[in-house]
Chains A and B, each alone.
Chain A
Amino acid sequence: MKRRMKKITALCMAAAMTVSLAACGGGSSESSKGADASSSAAASGGSSDEPVTLTIWNTEVLQPGVQTNEIAKEIEKRFGIKMDVVQGDAQKFSILVAGGDLPDIIYTNPAQQNTASNNLITSGQLLAMDDLIEQYGENVKKNFPDRLKYSKQFASNGEDKVYYLPVRAYEADEEHPNISYSIENIGLMTRWDIYQAIGCPEIQTTDDYLDVLKQMQDYAREKDLADGKQIYAISGWSDWGLWPWWLSNAREMGYMDLANDTIFNYDTQSVEGLYTSEAFWESLKFYNKAYNMGILDPEAFTMKNDQYWEKCKNGQVLMAYASWQTENINRSFVSDGHEGWSFQKLPYDGYEYISGIVSTNAPLGGGIEYATAITKNCKNPEKAMQLIDFFNSEEGARLIYSGIEGTHWTDNDGKPQPTDEFIEKSKSDSNYKDNVGVNLYNKLCAFMDIQVLSDGYPADLMKSDEQKAANISDQDKSYCDYYAQQEGGDYQYPGQVLYDMWQKGKVKTITDYYLYPTLVQSPSEETLNIIAQCDQYMNVQGVNAIMTGTEDEFNACKEETLKGLENKNYEQAKTEIADLYAKAEKEADAFGMK
């Protein structure tokens, strides 16, 4: 009986399953018919309406994946292209290279990505863009055309094809130089309110600067300016290698950092190997002194970058390393209710140079640095080139840097201006521009943000003189007022103070453009490997030097380090790189540019 019941139940269940399967089958056949119908409709004429998704390498967006900000939507509307951003660090990039999984459009940065530009060509990962440029690249051909010549001759592994398209080119207007709002990019920035509170002591040498920082630290600690948290004049972070410990100082000594651990000495106009250069060791000595004075945060060597940012924003740090850091921090000070706090560039901090008072010419952009390329993985190279060409147009540059016309800026009788709403929101919300998408895709743009376009205004409308003056913060104004009193000038924004000092010969800045460092060929794989190993070694040794207790110990550490570098064949790598620069110098004349 039991067995019979079981059989009946089994039969019933089998029947039920058959019915349900049939039902499913019917449904799916109908739905597949529907799908066929719609796809055939698409094929018969609507296919161009389907947006194409292009994967793009970008390290600056807040959110990777398909971009949904206003700028991205505008691009989708105009070109039917969805931008799907792949984000990551050097390690991710190198793994994508090894796996042949690079996104459709990439930008290179040999220094950060640790991958030789030629290697991507020899391993067949890039698409030669010549034909695509011919067909779709009107703007690529029109704007800064020397970029193509450069790319063929110096960044194609000798194949005479365009694999890389340099970006962020800039040509200065000699009559109206672009004066930076504060400084452009890198330099030592100081907490202005505290410097003022201790009476703006005079600074002649870097030792004076360290003394001033010590006084500032004592004052800030005494007044408990960080809500009981420990304050140090100088701090840093450990996950960018030695970046904080030499770059800003070397720039202020008149050096420009180049690829493959080399620096360009503007005084001698020659290229030097970084780790054996005087500038590098002098920078380490500066931080060594700071360490022994008790003004260097011991956690600087264990913290990660975001922890450093937090400390700066909490008021626990009194010196920073770049204007792009402090612009952000200053905005955070205001939104966190610390309107009185700000970082500024002191005209004198003991170094001769101030980097970036005005921007230097860059007719080839950054050369191979940040150059755009299309990879073999791209299924729609035509679309990719259309997008790249748009980013190489003036219209594209304005969109990238200033937003959408009518929403973020308006054209009043030939005078393009940011809208009041855009200005207001950018001031009150430090993430506003990122959320809109402004400036996020600048590494794909042919122009720098300050490039004056044919309408007479910079690509980034917030960087016009009138906007810089109109949007000055109270703290920036107090800085201008102080120096106006000292120098007798009329300063609309902080950069004008520094510009005036430079004009009076009180400080130096770098204005000359040298072509040949850009024309240097990529070194051999072996040399790149030596450099990478030396970098890893120096990340540890550099910090060891900073933390030595006496001058003798510092010198001993330096000697030991130089010996260690020798064991790692640093000299061999340096010689090969020096030869490449010498070759580039010769070729620069033949290139036909100044």
Chain B
Amino acid sequence: MRKTPGVSGGVRKKMPEGKKFFLASIPFLILVFAFAYVPLMGWAYAFFDYHPGMSLFDCDFVGLKTFAKIWANKEELFRVMRNTLALSFFSILGMPLAVIFAVMLNEIKSSKFRKLVQTTTTLPNFISWIVVFTLAFAMFSTDGMVAGVFRAIGVDKVVNFLGDNKHAWLFQWSLATWKCLGWSAIIYIATIAGIDSELYDAAHVDGANRMQTIRHITIPGLYSTFFVQMLLAISNMLSNGFEQYFVFYNPLTADKIEVLDYYVYKIGVLTNDYPQSIALGMAKTVISVILLFSANQLSKRVRGESIV
């Protein structure tokens, strides 16, 4: 076949750089659209008297009745919100722990030991909550390790942590911290690695000791990352996860650990009231977006930086 003159000459129109990147990002945009926006159509169910298995077209339109139903149950909702906010507040309060941990890890001289510590603290993040529950049961039940140790030293009355309503928030927070500390520290370790080493050298020459370099170089270097993390945590205040509270839920601690995500599950799947659970989910999304923008605005005013 004869080649068409001109084409073989290699004179091709160059695609603009921006368009190329845009085309490359299209598949991901489609995925985001398909998995993050298309499901929002399900919000329609909150406005219908829907029962599982029925087609939406066969259901009666009920307007805002579902939201009124949530409000009618407000005592329960307030309790659930109290738990959700308390547990989120605890986890936000605990955020500096990851920073401290990252800084301390950075100060370990032996790289082998540092890696060992980092690996062992990151691993729990990959353990599923049901396994954590089994471990917690093995340790804290009346036949568990902790009770065994106490019994061996003559203390018979040991707190049953899994069923202890008074310390439920603290216990759940400790578990979550144990599980996620190493993982949350990774971002700070990466940030520390990115701090210009000349700053440290200069400080060294100026006679700064270890604590002073941490205080004046490492910590300020982590500020912006920390605030971004905190903003995200604030916008996520209403979503403190489902699995943890699902596996640790029991009648004794229900009053304290029933969080919004569990409540949505309870209303939707356990009591089969899908519209109400969807309405709750909608309210949660709206409040989360408001929280994110308020926190963002606050950060912009106070620190002059923002993420959105």
Contact = CB atoms under 8 A, between A and B. Distances in A.
Contacts of B273: 529, 532
Interface residues of A, number: 40
Contact of A98 (B52, B75, B253): B52
Nearest to B267: A533
A119 B255 contact: no
A525 interface: yes
A91 B277 CA distance: 14
Given A120-B53, A238-B250, A540-B251, A299 B270 contact: no
B171 to A, nearest CB: 12
Interface stretch (A71-79, A345-353, A396-404, A541-549): A541-549
Interface stretch (B107-115, B136-144, B225-233): B136-144
B251 A307 contact: no
A301 interface: yes
A302 interface: yes
B52 A97 contact: yes
A122 interface: yes
B52 A298 contact: no
A544 B274 contact: no
Contacts of A529: 271-273
A7 interface: no
B38 interface: no
A444 B54 CA distance: 26
Given A230-B142, A307-B137, A301 B250 contact: yes
Contact of B272 (A94, A303, A547): A94
B70 to A, nearest CB: 12
Contacts of A114: 270-272
Given A299-B142, A536-B266, A238 B52 contact: no
Interface in B237-255: 250-255
Interface string A538-562: 0110111001000000000000000
Interface string B250-286: 1111110000000000100111111000000000000
A94 B252 CA distance: 27
Contacts, number: 88
Nearest to B252: A301
Contacts of B143: 229-230, 316
B251 A119 contact: no
A533 B137 contact: no
Nearest to A533: B271
B272 A540 contact: no
A392 interface: no
A123 interface: yes
A115 interface: yes
Contacts of A472: none
Interface in A368-387: none
A68 interface: no
Contact of A123 (B54, B75, B269, B271): B54
Contacts of A95: 269
Interface in B186-223: none
Interface in B41-83: 51-55, 58, 75
A215 B102 CA distance: 56
A119 B252 contact: no
B190 to A, nearest CB: 39
Contacts of A535: 271
Instruction: Give the top 7 A-B pairs by smallest Cβ distance, nearest first.
Output: A123-B53, A532-B271, A543-B251, A98-B52, A302-B163, A302-B162, A123-B54
Given A98-B274, A124-B53, 6 more contacts: A90-B270, A122-B51, A123-B51, A125-B53, A528-B272, A540-B251
13 contacts: A90-B270, A94-B269, A97-B53, A114-B272, A119-B53, A123-B52, A123-B55, A230-B143, A299-B141, A299-B163, A532-B272, A533-B271, A535-B271
Interface of A: 90-91, 94-95, 97-98, 100, 114-115, 119-120, 122-125, 229-230, 238, 297-299, 301-303, 307, 316, 525, 528-529, 532-533, 535-536, 539-540, 542-544, 547, 567
